[in-house]
Structure 1
Amino acid sequence: VEATAADNTIARVVKLVEEAQESKAPTERFIDGFSRWYTPAVVLVATLVAVLPPLLGFGSWGAWVYKGLAILLIGCPCALVISTPAAIAAGLAAGARRGLLMKGGAVLEQAGRLTAIAFDKTGTLTAGRPKVTDIVAPDGADDHRAVLAAAASLEVGSSHPLALAILAEAAERGVAVRPASDVAALPGKGVAGRLDGAALFLGSVAAAGEAAGLDEALRGRIAGLARAGKSVSVLTRDGRVVGLVAMRDEPRPDAAQGLEALQAAGIRTIMLTGDNQATARAVAASLGIEVRAELLPADKQRIVRELQAEGHRVGKVGDGINDAPALAAADLGIAMGGGTDVALETADAAVLHGRVTDVADMIGLSRGVMANIRQNITIALGLKAVFLVTTVAGVTGLWPAILADTGATVLVTANAMRLLGWRGSAAG
């Protein structure tokens, strides 16, 4: 047992949703404050309409009191007050259904205002799990399947990420794997063992170079793979190089699509990573994103501050402890699904399904909610203005005023409820 029922992920998500629903957005707080002045003003106007004209001799008391009551009904702030919280609640619910958790209306509103988003690389733009990308069999050596089978034989039973990548590739290609004997891990170098009487070694380029030597052609192949951001392991048999296995933490399948959607929405995207320049640039080039590499956690935080100093509203997306300082410094911190507890607690929002396209969806949902709120406010105030003028002019009376007030409330609520049908780009 690692945690009590109250501390598991689902329980934390439920708690965060409840807190989100209690948190008010700036627009909602403004409307509440506006209503505190608006309601007394309506009562004052209705009183003046009912009292002043008959006192000044412009008609009977009955007619003007009737108009004053109609104005009092028309001016009722129900539709105005409900216009914002209804849209916020519907937006939060629609996002939660799609795995977009936002800690309150303020976060939902802020998301749509972002002008720059900084992404972590490992586990955010990439899957966080290395994948075999190339298997090289030098001329005169074994074929690719034999190289993969020998490499996998040394990794059977290992939980190292690179070992798991090799075993997964062997399983995907249907390569039969027989466990090697006398397997031993060589710290900082690799792993060695025996198979069919031959001594096998799979490890770093430096270690293989010391043990077996690498000719210029092989060194050129290795350098090319390294420039592409790939980690290279060298396989030797009885002191002779028989193969290269290159691996890389590949971008998430939807990463390029998600970044394109953000850029199309006018948002600047940048990748911040602690990885080396070659790896970072290779991934960034495939995704079409700016990159800053070889960064410490403090460097990521500093870059977020620099973007803010340039006038950007900055979002930061990450999944690890190293991202926590930058998540806290950003205008909006977004934790990627599967991230650490520290990232989830520090962030203002979370993308629970781990899709990069969901970040763009969150921005789209926020902008949709704010557009809905503006529509609701226009409906509420517009109907009141129309019926205020027609009531004073004697065109409409008490019953139309009742219908207008109730109708406006129904209209803004129904308009807000449309947001519950939002599905985002992942629909279907």
Structure 2
Amino acid sequence: MSGTTPAKTSQHQTPPAASAPTTLRVQGMDCGGCERKVETALKRLSHVEQVSASSVTGSVRLTAPPGKTLPHSDIESTITALGYQVIDESVNTTEPEKSSSWWQSPKGRLVIISGVLLALAWGLKFAWPALGSWPFIAATVVGLVPIIQHAWQALKLGNPFTIEMLMSIAALGALAINAAAEAAVVVFLFAVGEMLEGVAAAQARRSISALSKLTPSTARLLEQGEAREVAAASLVPGQRVQVRPGDRLPCDGQIIVGHSSIDESPVNGESVPRERSEGESVFAGTVNLDGVLEVEVTRSAENNTIARVIKLVEEAQAAKAPVARFIDRFAFYYMPAVVGVALVVAIVPPLVSPMLWSESIYRALALLLIACPCALVISTPAAIAAGLSVGARNGLLMKGGAVLEQLGKLKRVALDKTGTLTAGKPTVTNVEGFDGVCDGEIVRLAAALEQGSSHPLAVAISDYFQNNNGQQPKATLPKVDAGRALAGHGVAGQVEGRELMLVSPRYLQTLTQGSSKLDATITVLETQGKSLAVLLENQRPIGLIALRDEPREDARKGLQALERLGVQAVMLSGDNARTVAAIGKQLGIEAEGELMPEDKALRVRQWQAAGLGPIGKVGDGINDAPALAAAEVGIAMGSGTDVALETADAALLKNRVEGIAEMIALSRATMRNVKTNVALALGFKALFLVSTALGITGMWVAVMADTGATVLVTLNALHLLRYRFNDKA
């Protein structure tokens, strides 16, 4: 048989990979109605599986089915046909939206034209009454043309229930029942409302995109000892730049020469400058206050901290919260329902009562104008976007509306000890040698075993050795042979022919019986909140080193803030139980030690099963990965690191315990704003639906109510941008 036979799918055959989402910048989307028009039209295209439009970020996110590619030309032409503009993707998306006066926009020009024609119509009515309604008809038609065009394009693309369609029907219907003056007023008020929505949406977008202005446009590139000015966007990793006092850093980098105070508030909202010296990391957009620095570039412009924060926050703003998705579903059914009610109001009263057809149709047309749920739909995303923006400006990065919404519901927060409640920089407090071995020898051998390790305890021991032998050039560390890590327990190796191990007291118990004196010493030191490392030679203890990691300066204050919010804090640590208990007692917090990563995740699941959730988990984003994943909200500590920005659900760029309570307080303030907005939107709708159906209010009042509600909830959401954290947590 000739030809090919379709291959059978093997159980090992790899399924087609899911296509990566594509994000397009779209200009002109200013409300929930705009989002629905774009989503409905694009979903009808082939090879478009998922669409999510966001008027808050001015973007459309699309996904193709596995193995397919998006029809970009069709997508762009569809968006353009709806009256919006696709911005060239090659343009740097971190650039802030260009500010222009309202009268320079298409919506602004329509307001001016409609307003002038309406004023002329009223003038002609009083000057030449014989003209009748013709001036108002002309004003209505001229202002209605672009509205009808948008309504027709949306109808052709499968979306009949748009505000433009309802406005067109209402205005044309008003002309048909000889209410031309009111039709002209309605068209003008609609244009004003659309323009105000555009202004408010642009303001919301600029609130976060303005972060990009923090990075300077130029940098002083060092080449062969000479500095020359270049574009900051052209910097690549490995190059070196000079940063003078008062300059903003043009890049993420590492200080090679110099030390200075750095104002990091643009990145993490921390008002107190930090001292930075050679070998330490610095971030783009921060301000050099004192000395001249030579900085090596570690990240390109499109990948620096500011750019990544902007990208993550915009993605978060585009991700709808559960309450926003509920409002969208409600609006989907609400609008057709009100249209149905309007038809009943137009037809039934004249059939069952003496009401004139012109009166019933007028009331129905007014109801159509109330039907648009713009205020309701924009009420939630505008507030969520404002809350995310406020958080980002203050070093509180939350990845999406769902995270922001869930934070305010947390009842219990589990915190790691090292690096979260403590500074993560332990120092050596005690050294004790046994059987005649001097303390200095214990430190020397332990530092030799730990050399090259980045573990906090290892670094502390190495630093202690260097600080105590800095004046003795000959006191160098010996070489380690057969060095190896004892996973979760310590290190081992041969030093100067001696078989050595540096282990935790718990692991020591599995190796040797120990002695009552050693056990007593360990107990005393651990009760004081110290971590211990025991040095063994041929599995015989020859000395120990005690280290203590002090609580962060703001730890107690942060825990008290959580308590005021009604959130219970619990410490979960892998350190020994006595040390953890001592730190917990010092901080006034419930504490549990000797937990492996999987044990922490188990505790979180047990609390959830017992109804103690939702649970938040705070850690470093790596060692606590299982618990971070198990919790409803995982929060990573870190000052702008990859871990802090790219793992967990939220990140504390300030690296402060108080930031946890600030996140929760901001979440609750945002959700209060959302509830207020929803109440305002529904209240306006309910009031004017009833008053319009009863004939108390007319068409122009209906438009003012719809526009007023939309503007009011938007302004209320933007008010959240002025949120202050002082005394809120």
2 CA distance for matches of 1:355 and 1:313? 22
Specify the alignment match of 1:253 in structure 2.
553
Q: Give the one of 510, 528, 531 matched to 1:228.
A: 528
Secondary structure of the equivalent of 2:550? Answer: strand
Code of the residue aligned with 1:178 in structure 2: it is Q
CA drift at 1:61: 1.4
CA drift at 1:135: 11
Unaligned runs of 5+ in 2: 1-236, 239-297, 433-438, 453-457, 481-490, 493-501, 506-516, 535-543
Count of residues paired in the alignment: 379
Code of the residue aligned with 1:161 in structure 2: it is V
C-alpha change, 1:302 and 1:29, in structure 2 (3 Å) is same
Specify the alignment match of 1:383 in structure 2.
684
Specify the alignment match of 2:357 in structure 1.
61
Secondary structure of the equivalent of 1:80? Answer: helix
Specify the alignment match of 2:701 in structure 1.
400
1 CA distance for matches of 2:577 and 2:522? 17
Specify the alignment match of 2:649 in structure 1.
348
Specify the alignment match of 2:564 in structure 1.
264
Which one is further off, 396-405 or 126-135? Answer: 126-135
Matched, 1:182 2:480: no
Specify the alignment match of 2:48 in structure 1.
none
Q: Give the one of 400, 413, 418 matched to 1:117.
A: 413
C-alpha change, 1:231 and 1:339, in structure 2 (3 Å) is farther
Specify the alignment match of 1:292 in structure 2.
592
Matched, 1:21 2:317: yes
1 CA distance for matches of 2:533 and 2:406? 46
Higher relative contact order, chain-length normalized (CA < 8 Å, sep 6+): 1
2 CA distance for matches of 1:300 and 1:81? 40
> Does the 8 Å CA contact 2:386/2:721 hold for their aligned counterparts?
yes
5 Å-filtered alignment, 1:163-242, equals 163=461, 178-179=471-472, 181-184=474-477, 224-231=524-531
C-alpha change, 1:176 and 1:298, in structure 2 (3 Å) is closer
CA drift at 1:393: 2.9
2 CA distance for matches of 1:89 and 1:121? 32
Code of the residue aligned with 1:387 in structure 2: it is F
Specify the alignment match of 2:75 in structure 1.
none
1 CA distance for matches of 2:620 and 2:719? 32
Q: Give the one of 327, 351, 359 matched to 2:628.
A: 327
CA drift at 1:231: 4.8
Which one is further off, 249-258 or 390-399? Answer: 390-399
CA drift at 1:177: 6.6
> Does the 8 Å CA contact 1:320/1:339 hold for their aligned counterparts?
no
Specify the alignment match of 1:209 in structure 2.
none
Which one is further off, 69-78 or 7-16? Answer: 7-16
User: Could you give the per-residue CA deviations for residues 177-212 of structure 1, whole angstroms, max 9, x where no partner exists?
Assistant: 7346434469889xxxxxxxxxxxxx9999xxxxxx
CA drift at 1:353: 1.2
Specify the alignment match of 1:197 in structure 2.
none
> Does the 8 Å CA contact 1:102/1:108 hold for their aligned counterparts?
yes
2 CA distance for matches of 1:247 and 1:233? 8
Secondary structure of the equivalent of 1:251? Answer: coil
> Does the 8 Å CA contact 2:405/2:671 hold for their aligned counterparts?
yes
Which one is further off, 56-65 or 86-95? Answer: 56-65
Code of the residue aligned with 2:582 in structure 1: it is A
Code of the residue aligned with 2:557 in structure 1: it is Q
Secondary structure of the equivalent of 2:594? Answer: coil
Secondary structure of the equivalent of 2:320? Answer: coil
C-alpha change, 1:226 and 1:277, in structure 2 (3 Å) is same
1 CA distance for matches of 2:365 and 2:463? 76
User: Could you give the per-residue CA deviations for residues 144-183 of structure 1, whole angstroms, max 9, x where no partner exists?
Assistant: xxx99xx99x99xx98532576599x8xxxx997346434
5 Å-filtered alignment, 1:135-154, equals none
User: Could you give the per-residue CA deviations for residues 80-110 of structure 1, whole angstroms, max 9, x where no partner exists?
Assistant: 0100110111111111111111111111111
2 CA distance for matches of 1:31 and 1:20? 18
Unaligned runs of 5+ in 1: 137-146, 190-202, 207-215, 235-243
Which one is further off, 386-395 or 2-11? Answer: 2-11
CA drift at 1:245: 9.1
Specify the alignment match of 1:46 in structure 2.
342
Code of the residue aligned with 1:402 in structure 2: it is V
> Does the 8 Å CA contact 2:410/2:614 hold for their aligned counterparts?
yes
Secondary structure of the equivalent of 2:708? Answer: helix
RMSD, matched Cα: 3.8
Max Rg structure: 2
> TM-score normalized by structure 1?
0.77
Specify the alignment match of 1:127 in structure 2.
423
User: Could you give the per-residue CA deviations for residues 108-127 of structure 1, whole angstroms, max 9, x where no partner exists?
Assistant: 11111111111111111111
> Does the 8 Å CA contact 2:644/2:653 hold for their aligned counterparts?
no
The structure carrying a bigger helix percent of its residues is: 1
Secondary structure of the equivalent of 2:324? Answer: helix
Matched, 1:108 2:390: no
C-alpha change, 1:394 and 1:14, in structure 2 (3 Å) is closer
Code of the residue aligned with 1:299 in structure 2: it is D
CA drift at 1:229: 1.2
Code of the residue aligned with 1:162 in structure 2: it is A
C-alpha change, 1:406 and 1:133, in structure 2 (3 Å) is farther
> TM-score normalized by structure 2?
0.47
Code of the residue aligned with 1:255 in structure 2: it is A
> Does the 8 Å CA contact 1:319/1:337 hold for their aligned counterparts?
yes
Q: Give the one of 381, 389, 412 matched to 1:93.
A: 389
CA drift at 1:74: 2.0
2 CA distance for matches of 1:373 and 1:319? 31
Secondary structure of the equivalent of 1:182? Answer: coil
> Does the 8 Å CA contact 1:124/1:319 hold for their aligned counterparts?
yes
> Does the 8 Å CA contact 2:528/2:582 hold for their aligned counterparts?
yes
Which one is further off, 418-427 or 94-103? Answer: 418-427
> Does the 8 Å CA contact 1:319/1:340 hold for their aligned counterparts?
no
Specify the alignment match of 1:336 in structure 2.
637
2 CA distance for matches of 1:61 and 1:219? 97
> Does the 8 Å CA contact 1:83/1:373 hold for their aligned counterparts?
yes
CA drift at 1:394: 2.8
2 CA distance for matches of 1:13 and 1:339? 9
Secondary structure of the equivalent of 2:675? Answer: helix
2 CA distance for matches of 1:352 and 1:167? 32
Which one is further off, 57-66 or 95-104? Answer: 57-66
1 CA distance for matches of 2:597 and 2:393? 32
Secondary structure of the equivalent of 1:322? Answer: coil
CA drift at 1:375: 0.4
1 CA distance for matches of 2:622 and 2:664? 24
Specify the alignment match of 2:379 in structure 1.
83
Matched, 1:161 2:459: yes
2 CA distance for matches of 1:123 and 1:299? 19
C-alpha change, 1:134 and 1:390, in structure 2 (3 Å) is farther
Code of the residue aligned with 2:355 in structure 1: it is G
Matched, 1:412 2:718: no
> Does the 8 Å CA contact 2:531/2:546 hold for their aligned counterparts?
yes
2 CA distance for matches of 1:93 and 1:39? 31
Specify the alignment match of 1:241 in structure 2.
none
